[in-house]
Amino acid sequence: MAQLDFQRVERRFPVKRGLLDMVARRDRVYLHAVRGVDLRVSPGDILGIVGESGCGKSTLARIGVGLQQSDGGQVIFDGRPLAGPDPAGRLQMVFQDPYSSLNPRITIGAQLEEVVAHYFPKLPRAKRAARVSEILAEVSLDPETALKFPHALSGGQRQRVSIARALCPAPEILVADEPVSALDASVQAQIINLLKRLNREKGLTIIFISHDMNVVCYLCDRVAVMYLGEIVELQNSQDLFGDPRHPYTRALIAAVPDVRRAQSLAEPITGEIPDPFAVPRGCRFATRCPLAETACQNPQEMLPLGGAGGVRCWKAVPSD
Amino acid sequence: MFLAILKRLLMLVPVLIGITLISFLLLQIMPGDPASRAMGSRASAEDLQAMRELWGLDKPIWVQYFYFLRDCVTGSFGVSIFHKQPIITLVADRLPYTLAIVLYSTVIALVIALPFAILAAANRGRFLDVAIRQIFVVLIALPPFWLCYVLILWLALNLGMFPTGGVGTGFFANLYRLFLPSLVVGLSTAALIQQSLRAALIDAMKADYVDTARAKGLRGYEVFLRHILPNSLISTISIIGVRVSWIIGGTVVVEKIFSVPGLGSLLIDSIVSRDLPVIRGLTVFFAVMVVTVNLIADICYALADPRIRLE
Amino acid sequence: MIPGLNLKALLLASAVALTGLPAAAETLRVAMGFDPLSLDPIATSDNGSIWTQLLIFDTLVRPDKTGEGLEPGLAESWTVSEDGLTLTFNLREAKFSDGTPVTAEDVQFSIERAASEESGWSRFYRPITSFEIVNDRQIVMQLAEPFTPAFNNLALFAAAILPKAQVEEKGDAFFDAPVGAGPFMLKNWARGSRIELVKNPNYWQEGKPYVDDAVLEIVTEPSARVIKLEAGEVDVALDPPLNQLEDLDGKDGISTGQIIPYRADFVQLNTTREPFDDERVRQALNMAIDKDALVQGVLYGAGEPAAAAMPVMAYADPELAPYPYDPAAAKELLAEAGYADGFEAQLLVDSGAATSRNAAITLQAMLQQVGVRVEVQMLEGGTQWETTKSGNYDMSVSYATSDTIDPDQIIGFVGVNPERANAYHTEWKSDRLNELYEEERKTPDGDERGGMFREMVQILHDEAPYIFLYHPASAWAAQDYVKDFEILPTSNFRLEEVKIEK
Amino acid sequence: MSLLSIHDLVAEFDSPSGIARAVDGVSFDAQPGEIFGIVGESGCGKSATCRAILRLFGGAPARIAGGRILLDGVGDLAALHERQLAQVRGRDVAFIFQDPLTALNPTMKIGRQITEVIRRHQTITRAKARAAALQLLRDVHVTSPERRLDSYPHELSGGLRQRVVIAMALALRPRLIIADEPTTALDVTVQDQILRLLKERRDRLGTSIILITHDLGVVSQICDRMAVMYAGRVVETGPVREVLDSPSHPYTQALLAALPGQVGREQALTPIEGAPPSLISPPPGCRFAPRCKLAQPDCVIGPPPPLHARDGVSSGHVDACILNEVAYGPA
Amino acid sequence: MRVLGNLLRTVSGAAGLAMLIMTMAATVLTPFLSPYDPFALDFANAMQPPSAAHWFGTDNFGRDIFTRVMAGAVYDMRLALICVFGPMAIGVLIGLVAGYLGGRIDAALMRLTDIVWAFPFYVLVLAIVGVLGPSETNLYIAFFLVNWIGYARIIRGETLLISRLEFIEATRVLRFGKLRVTLRHILPNAITPALVYSMSDVVLTVQAVAAMSFFGLGVQPPAPEWGLLIVESIDYMRDAPWMTVFPGLAIVWIGIAFALLGEGLSTALKPKG
């Protein structure tokens, strides 16, 4: 089983510079989408990455499958730095939008067969259809689905087709970028169950990107919380939800409405995510943190917690 | 904003150079010797030689281009063989008429398109909408040069309502005399504006902010005048910007038929008399006109829609 | 200034003022198809320019209305010496429109200018080798050798008399606001649109022109000219579509006129190419054309079938008949020449000339009958000229008009090779004709010269380097209240005699 | 006396394939000072119900085809003329939309959008309206409100925009606010802030709020009573804690069961198989029956019973399931 | 086939198609049914008004206008279709290449289209034919030089839009070849707006082709091309308006047919969902 290892991964997007900027020799301005991310994905794990919009989780996912290149640091896959999507298809991805993730003009069967043919060129043409049926069955879809066009399917079915497509090359790691955000709760459960089953039965490693704390809590073994391009906390799921250490993680969990909870709530954090062009120099969460002090104006390092976890807050680790 | 406009102007430089280059190459594709083709009947060998020297045809091609570029930059655009005047002088005499038709036809197009777009949008999917769409389909299908004659035959001749062509002096005389030519250009534009404006209106009617406005208790006409119409018209600005090339091209045909002494007539006459420098100069000038109007449209668009910033 | 004159004017003015009759300016509006290129008489040969120049400038002598003789212009009288080498002109007391008198010096300047290098008409005036100014009002011109057309050529627009001082002072700019001795002055020229003229108060024909202003509207489409006439936007429409003449004449308040000017329409045949190098083929082609049908179908009867590429003008032979329409004979001739199955050829035609276009289409159908398959190629006029000139053609529909009343000009053009145009680019050559041409130019006007012309035309007819088509009429249509408008045989028109009688 | 009382509301939408009854006989009421939640999955008609109250159909070809919408002191909104309804909108009843970005006119400054509603219903000078708008922004905790008044919507963050939309809704102190998924487009920490804002408003001024959401958690967090909708109909309604803690309709039960967090990590979630029915030709009988694990033959035959209480004693917790009717008899 | 079915289900698409088929049928059948030769002169019958014998009347040469208009359909349709679909092929290719290669080639190609786009269509076509001289070949050259621009821009723009969609991102993860992705996944989706545009382009091109003849820069007589029919009729407009009216109506007819077809296609080609 190959391992995926993020090592101080950076990703920044240069802000478009106009002619005048160049004439005035202004420095290039960058938007740091991902900054200094260290993350090791163990085989067979379901790793969750949570955070609010714009925190860099989707960018990280794309770097993880080789869709984007990191500007600093590196991603090690199977012992080698990852330079683009894996030729053997061992790294696959499922996307968020079930409507744009399938080619609307090609039948489901043809789309899947194309992938099978690409990765198993020696497989006789006749057996491809059978293989596609197998894969469809694996994601609990009828074999007839192969004959349909995407528009004939419901959102949940499409998302299953997307997963099926990702399964075609027989991947080891599946990166799922908000795969259930666009789905209704009742359908969402199908996809979550499916992912869980694939992990349990086939040992598929899953990186699950989401903003939904409840889903992540249920599905993931380990969870990384991202804020403004950085991982602020990384722990086992139970530890993270049971004993969140970073003030942001705590605020995030507290803010999630819970069907079982009555109306009283913890004190909310104030403000919104700062403008990504004007991030604080020190702790990035300091502007909203109820515990902020002067010392928070220094850059924060990831402090180790038990296991492979860590937290990026000097106040979070008990001083004992 | 000022800086942004300046930036846009700077960005135009390569486009303008490209325009001159294409116009220059246009004459290079001509078979045969340009001088003899241009001089025609009475050219003696010496005349031809003189012409070649005047045009720099004896020079390498890039030198010729440089000469042409120089002419464009200094503003003369070259000298007409036929009229023996700098092209810019010819253009200056005729530009007002062409601009008048462009403007006038745009106004006519808006006047026609606006009510129909509103009617169609308000009744979308119903009979009236379909009927209006079919009317405009027919409008698009009308060939302009033919329409000119049909209008002359019908409105000018049989009903005597309009003059059959030519221009007058003074604003009101031309408002009257340029009506038919502007109408022909305006009709095809109207079809386009109607279609896009209808779509924009429908989009706006569906927009949440319109429901927000209604939720505030604004009356129907208030919602329409304050929220739906202004926002829909903004998109029309960009449509006109994109279509201006077509509008300006359309003037060529109508000017010729309605004997309007504009740039289009000059172009056709120059083609007929093989006045090559004028053909070349005019193509540059037409393109510059389009680019300029596009720029103005962009600026208006940016002014009207705060979300848009001039790049 | 004579005080009496001023007094008279004053009285006249007050009389008008007292009677309360406003002297409403009468404007004559003429729709014509061409915009002048330039008002410089030596630089142009297009109709628009010629017509306009003739309204602004005047010449020493000019063709009379019949087109058969010359009448006095700025020259009151003249004498030609026995040997034809000395021409003496007595100028009348004429003035340019700005009031300066027309002098012998202006005459010498203008004719010398017309003979100069920069003139497009220099060959017409080079035979005049010297001038002698006797006084302001008398000038003597000398020819080195006899040149009969010289006198006639002085009636041409190119010999318009210009004010020397002003032309020298202003150069080319003079022609943007020219001053002439003609009936009108240029007030405004909107290129491509209209030319506005006002009466020249100093015109030598007292009382003329009758109208105060004249506007020449440039309307290139023939139909549009008629439309404007009917809409009352113009008073005269030149060259209306021939097919509309009859209808127009029937309309209330509109009348039409036509004249067959010095013009002949024909198809140039490239005699350097097969099969047009064969005289029999050329004759056969002439016989394959039903000229009467052509006149009816294309000219709507407004014209005459042509026997040669020469207009019917001075010294014409009334006996010379057009080739008969005889397709059978034509086929025989073709077979004789080895083209029993006909042949294929291209026919050029000016896309801008409706009549030529229609003729080409008709010719195509008629020639089809004798097995000649014609492919029509429409070109704009300039290109057509250039193509025929370079000899890169088979057949080309064209025509020739005479600007002067002497046949010398046009025979030199259509018949003589090389002289002016290699027999109008047919490259056909007849030594006999060339010889006669040389002779005719030295022969004084009279029967002898007439005989030479008749022989030349006969040769042209027989050897048929052209397909002779017809002499089309020049037509005009005018409001009934316009009196005395007509087109002259030289295809020009004058406006000083035109009256508006509403 | 209820503030708003809806009886048998029917709303129809024209679509290319026919007429869809997005709202089919919905009844509920909202009491003064109450936050009433309506939940359901996408396409269940919850949004259409609320839009029907003020007849704000987003330009869609839709109409109210039956029922009454009684607003205390005004009368039946469904019977009002468009002009009369315009008087009610903004003044008595305000509306908050899901996506604050699209709910604001992109080409109009914030200030003008807020004063627009004030000036519509009150004769007031421009300056006074502006001062009022400023106060409104302060009320919804917008920082540096003076600057915001002259901003365009795209210059604000999502949370700020929703605050502006709420400020507009609050401008005339309406008795009822209808909020259509007001936090769906927002991040969870911002959602929390917005929900608090709404609740604070109710607590201070006693404004009634009808809150539409697909998130049962949100309902749980701030609503007093709730209704669960499925395929155009209310299937269950009652006090929030009762409904969420002991759901009586199989759909509500299934919905809750599908949520992660309801079961342990090692247990599988229970999704609802199948898809909601077409609203153009809905099945006869209970509309949830085709997907219902407890469905009986009777479920698909006759129309489902009207809302009734499970225990016969009306605590206001009622549902429309035939099973409960069989077990406990008609209410 | 599926598209055809969808097309027939739209009112405008079915109507447009029916009009086109009627035109084609009439064009094919006229030589067999009409007793008249579109080229033979018959001065005796010149300028007859429309009647049972001559449905559209006769022209100044006595030729039957109906027969000529029908014969002209062949010219105009051929010209227009070649002048639209030829350049379309070029434009699609260039648009794909630009989108496919990206980078500098894309920038250069798009700059070129920007520049050519600045020239008004009529001005450029007139200038090219004017410089080259009037002939059918030169007409083709002019249209091919000008007409591809719109398609290149559309295809390139669509390519960029589609490239951002997740199913294209998926092909990148799957490491499909760029060429295959472009041809199999991008092109079929990008071509739709180009096809719809091409229908309105046909309408304008029929008009432009006729306009070129009108200015004497296109097809040569006696070809019964519609623009030629109109220009030849102008002098007779007063006496024989039918000579002007019917060829014009033919252009309008074809224009409406293609406009309707375009409207239908835009519905029929829309991918569902």
Give the residue-averaged pLDDT of A58-62.
92
* Global pTM value: 0.81
Give the residue-averaged pLDDT of B269-275.
78
pLDDT greater than 60 at residue C194: yes
Subunits in contact with chain B (3 or more CB pairs closer than 8 Å): A, C, D, E
Residue D122 touches partner B, C-beta closer than 8 Å: no
Residue E204 touches partner C, C-beta closer than 8 Å: no
pLDDT at C20: 41
The residue with greater pLDDT, C83 or C165, is: C165
pLDDT at C216: 93
Taking Cα atoms as reference points, which of C225, C76, C206, C72 lies closest to residue C138?
A: C76
Q: Is residue A243 part of a domain?
A: yes
CB A245 within 8 A of CB A311: yes
Task: Output the average pLDDT for chain A.
Answer: 87
C201: exposed, middle or buried (Cβ count in 10 Å: 0-12, 13-18, 19+):
exposed
Contacts of C382 in chain E (CB under 8 A): none
pLDDT greater than 70 at residue C383: yes
Residue type, E52: A
pLDDT at B36: 64
Pairwise CB contact (< 8 Å): A101 & E170: yes
Give the residue-averaged pLDDT of B218-232.
90
Residue C170 touches partner E, C-beta closer than 8 Å: no
Which residues span the domain enclosing E180?
Answer: 56-260
Q: Which of C47, C123, C194, C220 to mutate to test the interface with B (most CBs of B within 10 A)?
A: C220
Q: Is residue E208 part of a domain?
A: yes
Going from the N-terminus, what domains does chain D have, and what CATH number goes with each?
4-223 (3.40.50.300), 247-328 (no CATH)
Residue of C nearest to B80 (CA): C37
Classified as helix, coil or strand, C68 is coil
pLDDT at B39: 58
Q: Is residue E183 part of a domain?
A: yes
Classified as helix, coil or strand, D156 is coil
Residue in the structure block whose two tokens are 């359309």: B250
> What span, in angstroms and rounded, lies between the C-alpha atoms of D324 and D312?
10
pLDDT at C357: 87
Give the residue-averaged pLDDT of B102-128.
91
Contacts of C40 in chain B (CB under 8 A): none
The segment with the largest mean pLDDT, out of A299-303, C195-199, C239-243, is: C195-199
pLDDT at C18: 42
pLDDT at A297: 84
Subunits in contact with chain D (3 or more CB pairs closer than 8 Å): A, B
> What span, in angstroms and rounded, lies between the C-alpha atoms of C192 and C217?
9
Superfamily name with CATH number, domain B93-304:
MetI-like (1.10.3720.10)
CB C320 within 8 A of CB C464: no
Q: Which of A103, A113, A174 to mutate to test the interface with E (most CBs of E within 10 A)?
A: A103
The residues in B 129-158 lying below 8 A from E, measured between CB atoms, are 133, 137-138, 140-147, 149-150, 153, 157
Taking Cα atoms as reference points, which of D308, D304, D301 lies closest to residue D329?
A: D308
The residue with greater pLDDT, C427 or B38, is: C427
> What span, in angstroms and rounded, lies between the C-alpha atoms of A257 and D183?
12
> What span, in angstroms and rounded, lies between the C-alpha atoms of D41 and D45?
9
Task: Output the average pLDDT for chain C.
Answer: 87
Pairwise CB contact (< 8 Å): E131 & B138: no
pLDDT at E112: 87
Alpha-helical regions (H) of C220-308 = 222-230, 245-250, 279-287, 291-299
What is the distance in angstroms between the Cα of E88 and the nearest Cα belonging to chain A?
21
What is the distance in angstroms between the Cα of A19 and the nearest Cα belonging to chain B?
7
Distances (CA, A) of C299 to C260, C398, E79, E239: 12, 15, 33, 15
pLDDT in tens, C223-265: 778 888 988 889 999 999 888 888 888 888 999 999 999 999 9
What's the sign of the alpha-carbon dihedral B37, B38, B44, B50?
negative
Q: Which residues of chain D have pLDDT under 70?
A: 311-315, 325-331
Taking Cα atoms as reference points, which of C414, C401, C398, C405 lies closest to residue C456?
A: C414
Domain boundaries, chain B: 2-74, 93-304
Residue C226 touches partner E, C-beta closer than 8 Å: yes
Q: What is the pLDDT along chain E (273 residues), one digit of tens a residue?
A: 567 777 788 888 899 999 999 988 888 888 887 888 888 888 888 888 888 888 888 888 888 989 999 988 888 888 899 999 999 999 999 998 888 887 888 888 888 888 888 888 888 888 888 888 778 888 899 999 888 988 998 999 899 889 889 999 999 999 998 888 998 999 998 998 899 899 988 998 988 888 888 887 878 777 888 988 888 888 787 778 888 899 999 999 999 999 999 888 888 887 664
pLDDT at C14: 44
Task: Output the average pLDDT for chain B.
Answer: 83
CB D232 within 8 A of CB D45: yes
Residue D267 touches partner B, C-beta closer than 8 Å: no
Residue B125 touches partner E, C-beta closer than 8 Å: no
Residues with Cβ within 8 Å of E12's Cβ and at least 6 positions away in sequence, in order, are: E260, E261, E263, E264, E267
pLDDT at C206: 85
List residues in chain B touching C: CB distance below 8 A: 36-37, 40-42, 82-84, 90, 93-94, 152, 156-157, 160, 163-167, 257, 259, 261, 265-266, 269, 271-274
pLDDT in tens, D211-249: 999 999 999 989 999 999 999 999 999 999 999 988 989
Going from the N-terminus, what domains does chain C have, and what CATH number goes with each?
58-172 (3.90.76.10), 184-259+475-500 (3.40.190.10), 263-472 (3.10.105.10)
Reduced DSSP (H G I as helix, E B as strand, rest coil) percent helix, strand, coil of chain A, to 5: 35, 20, 45
What is the distance in angstroms between the Cα of B41 and the nearest Cα belonging to chain C?
6
Give the residue-averaged pLDDT of A66-74.
89
Q: Which of D99, D101, D188, D216 to mutate to test the interface with A (most CBs of A within 10 A)?
A: D188
The residues in E 156-195 lying below 8 A from C, measured between CB atoms, are none
Written as one string, the DSSP assignment of C72-83 is ESSEEEEEE-TT
pLDDT at A64: 92
What is the distance in angstroms between the Cα of A83 and the nearest Cα belonging to chain D?
33
- In this complex, the residue of B41, B42, B261 whose CB is nearest that of residue C192 is B261
Report the share of chain C in percent with pLDDT over 70.
Answer: 95
Which residues span the domain enclosing A303?
Answer: 221-320
Q: Do chains C and D touch (3 or more CB pairs under 8 A)?
A: no
Q: Which of D74, D105, D161, D181 to mutate to test the interface with B (most CBs of B within 10 A)?
A: D105
Classified as helix, coil or strand, D38 is strand
The residues in C 148-207 lying below 8 A from B, measured between CB atoms, are 172, 190-194
The pLDDT-based confidence of A92 (bands split at 50, 70, 90) is very high
Residue of B nearest to A16 (CA): B311
pLDDT at E47: 83
pLDDT in tens, B51-70: 777 666 777 778 888 888 88
Contacts of A100 in chain E (CB under 8 A): 165-167
Contacts of B273 in chain C (CB under 8 A): 382
Residues with Cβ within 8 Å of E118's Cβ and at least 6 positions away in sequence, in order, are: B15, B19, B245, B287, B288, B290, B291, B294
E59: exposed, middle or buried (Cβ count in 10 Å: 0-12, 13-18, 19+):
buried
Residue of A nearest to B310 (CA): A18
pLDDT greater than 70 at residue A24: no
pLDDT at C38: 83
What is the distance in angstroms between the Cα of C56 and the nearest Cα belonging to chain B?
20
pLDDT in tens, A109-163: 999 999 999 999 999 988 999 999 999 999 999 999 999 999 889 889 999 999 9
Q: Is residue A73 part of a domain?
A: no
Q: Is residue E101 part of a domain?
A: yes
φ and ψ at residue A31, rounded to 5 degrees: -105, 115
Pairwise CB contact (< 8 Å): B272 & C120: no
Pairwise CB contact (< 8 Å): C231 & B156: yes
pLDDT at C398: 92
Q: Which of E37, E41, E231 to mutate to test the interface with C (most CBs of C within 10 A)?
A: E41
Pairwise CB contact (< 8 Å): E127 & B287: no
> What span, in angstroms and rounded, lies between the C-alpha atoms of D117 and D133?
10
Pairwise CB contact (< 8 Å): B83 & C352: no
Residue of C nearest to E61 (CA): C297
pLDDT in tens, A249-284: 988 888 888 887 765 556 677 777 777 777 778 888
CATH number at residue E236: 1.10.3720.10
Contacts of B37 in chain C (CB under 8 A): 383, 386
What is the distance in angstroms between the Cα of A121 and the nearest Cα belonging to chain D?
36
pLDDT at C193: 79
pLDDT greater than 60 at residue C2: no
pLDDT at E273: 45
C320: exposed, middle or buried (Cβ count in 10 Å: 0-12, 13-18, 19+):
middle
Report the share of chain B in percent with pLDDT over 70.
Answer: 89
pLDDT at B188: 82
Q: What is the ipTM, given to two decimal places?
A: 0.78
Give the residue-averaged pLDDT of B168-175.
74
CB A184 within 8 A of CB D271: no
